[in-house]
A and B are shown apart, each in its own frame.
Chain A
Amino acid sequence: MAAKPAKFDLKDDSVVVIIGTGAGGGTLGNELAQKGIKVVALEAGGRYLPEDYINDEWASFQQLAWKDKRTTSGDWRVHKDFTNLPAWIVKAVGGSTVHWAGASLRLQEHEWKTRTVYGDIPGASLMDWPIDGKEMAPYYDKAEDKMGTTRTHGIPGLPGNNNYKVMAAGAQKVGYKKYSTGRMSINSQPRDERAACHQVGFCFQGCKFGAKWSTAYTEVPKGEDTGNMEVREFAMALRIEHDAKGKVTGVVYADKNGKHQRQAARVVCVAGNSIESPRLLLNSHSSMFPDGLANSSGEVGKNYMRHMTGSVYALFEKPVHMYRGTTMAGIIEDEAINDPKRGFVGGYHFETLSLGVPFMAAFLDPGAWGREFTSAMDGYANMAGVWIVGEDMPRSGNAVTLHPEITDEYGLPVPNVNFDDHPNDNAMRNHAYKQGAAVYDAVGAVRAFPTPPYPSTHNMGTNRMSAKPRDGVVNKWGQSHDIANLFVSDGSQFTTGAAENPTLTIVALAIRQADYIARQMKAGAI
């Protein structure tokens, strides 16, 4: 039986305030609450649960997506196609874990030390993480157990759907060895009081069976059930405040009526995803911190990464019905190695992906028209598809900055996301387009489509983790180098992006960070 929901006073300065309830914030909140630490989580969006999710792409987008105004710049194609939608992420309790596809992959050993392994790549700001796979292994293990990741902890893999079968048959024919239905945080059998996957096919729109792990209906209610965690919905964080000693003291937010409130805090953890998190730190500038909080390095907002992405869709003579079942139903891992002989450093994965007719029309080749486009759409039932997700190069100029003129409804500058593809990203994408088409050609594709990147779902960097304070924003615990009681708890901590979907690593880092915060609080250090 759930405890009475916690309700903390605005002036209670013993609480940990967490901004965001997604993979990072939702997990951190529950972990702290389980340890008896009082948590106030500020969530910009509302609360939607499996019964609320909608099996309809545009209607669901309206319900869940973060649609606040943002601007873009740079040579990436998203700037041209989706000028005001750099990222396709969620504004709701659970954050983008409502929308994510469930792929749960650990970073590979070499990906923790890319500067050492890849060397000095011109135009890239590569840096080794201050942590590695050995350090993270026990936390990955806890995260996989928490999330019910298939092919870990004795949990069987998911069955492959039609889209997977096409990809797997092609992979086998071109000589790939490492393809499977992957490690997915989607129940292949009932677990943790959640149902098994029913192959509904709307993973991106929120899982109506609750089979896919999301903090919205796992971590958040578990944290609330302790009586130690209060989630405030429609609470948009505007500014983090600090005292004369430079310690953060509270967070000013707009409540559901637009009224400004101030929640006092002992510790503040920022987990608003890699666009809002740096924006909040930059918008919290003061006379003591004129360039924004935690920004003595000047690195806040920089090194924005979004993974090298793209898709390959292909048409066949006979039906596939790729939209039936798990959206991300399988993976090819053979190209996820570092083999510079291919003409680029780092690697990439193929992961099956399907879109319904409405989103296929919007994303297959944005801006295209005429029979070349419509004949592709006419073949929808005979279409198979994979998404490409690879390591992109961090670049100092790829950055989230405050727009000099445009402000939001609260009068705060909106974020601009500038991104230029690095030559390494382009070389990797071209390789992946060719290999993806080869996979489908091997099983009789009549036509293939090298589809450009969608608005970013994997947003990383912008508050990166570094061993030395001058090189980044946070230390190996996600604690800001400048302010001891200010933490970053989302994917913006990532030093580099690796080739893996980031959620599992975000969750593992949050579990580890919770242990650290608890120790530091107990020791009176924060």
Chain B
Amino acid sequence: MTETTSPRGLSRRELLTRGTALGTAYVVGAGFLAHATDAWAMETKELTPAQMATLIQMARDIYPHDKISDKFYAIAVKGHDEEAAKDPAYKTMMTEGLGTLDNLAQGAGAPSYLGMGWEADRVALLRQIADSHFFQTIRGGLIVGLYNQKAVWPIFGYEGESFSKGGYIERGFNDISWL
């Protein structure tokens, strides 16, 4: 995960050819993926940037939190790219799973999974594969990969570690006022 304001190596042609299929959130280059509006980009090892973009969207569709930016979903799924780089069988599972999603999308008349405009349409596709090992691997990984990122805890209003601050005995353990 790297953060940058200037995506590198991006050709206008790539943007044009992949733009529709990938939706509008990402710009994609050789071995990297950049968010179109947020200031971050990530390199990919084994999965293509397009596959990674699909994975990030899939992660958001599984656990959609509108106040959590794509960056945290990207961090949550990055391990699948690393695992794919180590294990050819894992790469095959990822490639086939993501390919199935695109095929299902095309069967539904969309250019790709990412090219489907509505979350409900994408979720309908996910339901079709919800029992698959691929889907459960992605979903299961998100439970720790997404919700155990300390940076997302404040978004949920969770304060995490409290011992170093002396606990909550003087910091609102019983401050409820609306009952």
**A: which residues have CB within 8 A of B?**
55-58, 159-162, 165-166, 169, 197-202, 208-209, 316-321, 323-325, 356-358, 360-362, 367, 369-371, 373-374, 377-378, 380-382, 443
Contacts and interface: CB of A to CB of B under 8 A. Distances in A.
Given A165-B176, A370-B123, A374-B64, A356 B160 contact: yes
Nearest to A382: B157
A200 B148 contact: no
A378 B176 contact: no
A369 B167 CA distance: 32
Given A358-B148, A361-B147, A324 B172 contact: yes
A320 B176 contact: yes
Interface in B34-73: 62-65, 67
Nearest to B166: A198
Interface of B: 62-65, 67, 123, 130, 139, 143-144, 146-148, 152-153, 156-163, 166-169, 171-176, 178-179
A132 B135 CA distance: 53
Q: Sorted from nearest, which 10 A-B pairs have the closest CB atoms? A: A381-B157, A198-B167, A325-B173, A361-B147, A200-B167, A55-B161, A199-B173, A324-B168, A162-B176, A357-B158
B156 A208 contact: no
A319 B174 CA distance: 12
B174 A381 contact: no
Nearest to B67: A378
16 contacts: A199-B169, A200-B167, A209-B163, A316-B178, A319-B176, A324-B159, A324-B168, A325-B168, A357-B147, A357-B152, A358-B147, A362-B147, A371-B64, A373-B63, A381-B158, A443-B179
B62 A165 contact: no
Contact of A162 (B65, B123, B175): B175
Given A361-B143, A377-B65, 19 more contacts: A55-B161, A56-B161, A162-B172, A162-B173, A201-B168, A202-B162, A209-B167, A316-B178, A319-B176, A321-B176, A324-B172, A325-B169, A325-B173, A357-B153, A362-B144, A369-B63, A378-B156, A381-B156, A382-B157
Given A55-B162, A369-B62, A161 B147 contact: no
A381 B153 CA distance: 10
B156 A199 contact: no
Nearest to A207: B163
Contact of B174 (A57, A165, A371): A165
Contacts of B169: 197-199, 325
A195 B65 CA distance: 40
A363 to B, nearest CB: 10
Given A56-B161, A202-B162, A370-B123, A325 B174 contact: yes
B178 to A, nearest CB: 4
Contacts of B157: 319, 321, 380-382
A202 B148 contact: no
A166 B152 CA distance: 26
A297 to B, nearest CB: 42
Contacts of B123: 370
A380 B156 contact: yes
Given A374-B64, A377-B65, A323 B159 contact: yes
A159 B144 CA distance: 33
B167 A199 contact: yes
Contacts of A381: 156-158
B160 A55 contact: yes
A49 to B, nearest CB: 14
A55 B152 CA distance: 17
A523 B176 CA distance: 60
Nearest to B164: A55
Nearest to B66: A378
Contact of B156 (A162, A166, A377): A377
Contacts of B67: 378
Contacts of B174: 159-162, 165, 325
A386 to B, nearest CB: 16
Nearest to A164: B174
A374 B65 contact: yes
A55 B163 contact: yes
Contacts of A318: 178
A200 B168 contact: yes
Contacts of A325: 167-169, 173-174
Contacts of A443: 179
Contacts of B179: 165-166, 169, 443
A378 B173 CA distance: 21
A204 to B, nearest CB: 14
Given A159-B174, A166-B179, A369 B139 contact: yes
A324 B157 CA distance: 11
B133 to A, nearest CB: 14
Contacts of A165: 174, 176, 179
A412 to B, nearest CB: 29
A382 to B, nearest CB: 8
Nearest to B136: A367
Contact of B173 (A55, A161, A369, A370): A161
A489 to B, nearest CB: 32
A41 to B, nearest CB: 29
Contacts of A317: 178
A324 B176 CA distance: 11
A426 B41 CA distance: 50
A317 B168 CA distance: 22
A378 B168 contact: no
A198 B172 CA distance: 11
Contacts of B156: 357, 377-378, 380-381
